[in-house]
Amino acid sequence: MDYLGEFEQIVMLAILRLGETAYGMTIRKEIQEVAKRVASLGAVYTTLERLEDKGFLTSAVGGVTEERGGRAKKYFRVTGLGQASLRQALNATQAMKAGVVLEGA
């Protein structure tokens, strides 16, 4: 199974939090608001492509709206394999963190 990088984990968690409304713009906003991390749409899309290639995400093309200039949205969902990989990565981080005291603010 492929290992997940830190930003990949954040993107997958954002998709899971958003549920049915997860597409490029909302994923970027969620990361910005919850993780307090500024990410460009380009960075988000390259990560989404990589995760889709690994089989961790699936996508579906949605409706067209006027404010998007007639362009369709692309909705993302985390697959079972993706959830298993994410669980493994988060468990590994938690296990490594146990007993470690971090100094500084």
Name the site residues for other proteins (rule: CB under 8 A): 23-25, 28, 40-43, 45-46, 48-49, 61, 65, 67-69, 71-74
Which CB, 47 or 85, lies closer to other proteins? 47
Which DSSP letter does residue 21 get? G
Write down the least CB distance from residue 99 to other proteins, Å.
Answer: 29
DSSP letter string over 37-50? ----HHHHHHHHHH
Residue 42 main-chain phi, psi, to 5 deg: -60, -45
Which CB, 13 or 43, lies closer to other proteins? 43
Whether the CB-CB separation of 57 and 2 falls below 8 Å is answered with no
Write down the least CB distance from residue 60 to other proteins, Å.
Answer: 11
